[in-house]
Amino acid sequence: MSEHWIAERMQRIDASGIRKVFDLGARLKDPINLSIGQPHFDTPEPVKQALCQAIADGKNAYSQTQGIAPLIDRLQARIDAQYGPADRKVFITSGTSGGLTLALSILVNPGDEVLVFSPYFVMYRHLTTLVGGIVVEIDTFPDFRIDLDRVRQAITPRTKVIVFNSPNNPTGALATAAEVEGLARLAAERDIALLSDEIYHDFCYDQPFVSPAQFNNQTIVVDGFSKSHSMTGLRLGYAHAPAALVQQMLKLQQFTFVCAPHPVQYAGLAALDCDISDRVRDYHRKRDYVVSQLSPYYEIPRADAAFFLLPKAPWGTATEFCTEAISRGLLIIPSNVFCPQDTHFRLSYAADDRTLERGCALLRELAQR
Question: pLDDT tens digit string along 43-52?
Answer: 999 999 999 9
Asked whether residue 329 carries a pLDDT value surpassing 60, the answer given is: yes
CATH code assigned at 344: 3.90.1150.10
Return the DSSP state at 232: G
In this predicted structure, the answer to whether residue 162 has a pLDDT above a threshold of 60 is yes
Q: What is the pTM of this model?
A: 0.95
Element (H, E) at 238: strand 237-242
Where does a domain end: 218, 238, 271?
A: 271
Whole-angstrom Cα distance, residue 294 to residue 298? 6
Is there a domain that residue 305 lies in?
Answer: yes
Judge contact between 223 and 137, C-beta under 8 A: no
61 and 164 both lie in a single domain: yes
Same domain, 253 and 280: no
Query: pLDDT band at residue 5, thresholds of 50, 70 and 90?
Result: confident
Whether residue 48 is contained in a domain is answered as no
pLDDT in tens, 64-78: 999 999 999 999 999
Task: Domain of residue 186: give its range.
Answer: 57-271
Mean pLDDT of 260-287: 98
Of 271, 286, 316, which closes a domain? Answer: 271
Q: How far apart are alpha carbons 309 and 307 in whole angstroms?
A: 7
**Could you tell me the CATH number of the domain that includes residue 148?**
3.40.640.10
Helices 318-327 and 353-367 cross at an angle (nearest 10°) of: 120
Q: Looking at the 3D structure of the chain, how many domains does it have?
A: 2
Determine whether 343 is exposed, middle or buried from the number of CB atoms within 10 Å of its CB (0-12, 13-18, 19+): buried
- Regarding whether 328 and 242 lie in a shared domain, the answer is no
Amino acid at 301: P
* CA separation, residue 10 to residues 5, 13, 130, 341, 352 (Å): 11, 5, 8, 23, 37
Residues 199, 240: one domain? Answer: yes
Task: Give the whole-angstrom CA distance, residue 86 versus residue 245.
Answer: 14
Question: What mean pLDDT do residues 14-43 have?
Answer: 78
Residues 259 and 284 in one domain: no
Which band of pLDDT confidence, cut at 50, 70 and 90, is reported for residue 14?
confident
Q: Are strands 220-224 and 330-331 parallel, antiparallel or unpaired?
A: unpaired
77 shares its domain with 223: yes
Domain membership flag for residue 29: yes
Residues 65 and 258 sit within 8 Å (Cβ to Cβ): yes
Last residue of a domain, one of 271, 289, 316: 271
Q: Nearest to residue 221, comparing CAs of 244, 256, 194?
A: 194
4 burial (CB, 10 Å; 0-12 / 13-18 / 19+) is exposed
Considering the domain architecture, whether residues 180 and 81 belong to the same structural domain is answered as yes
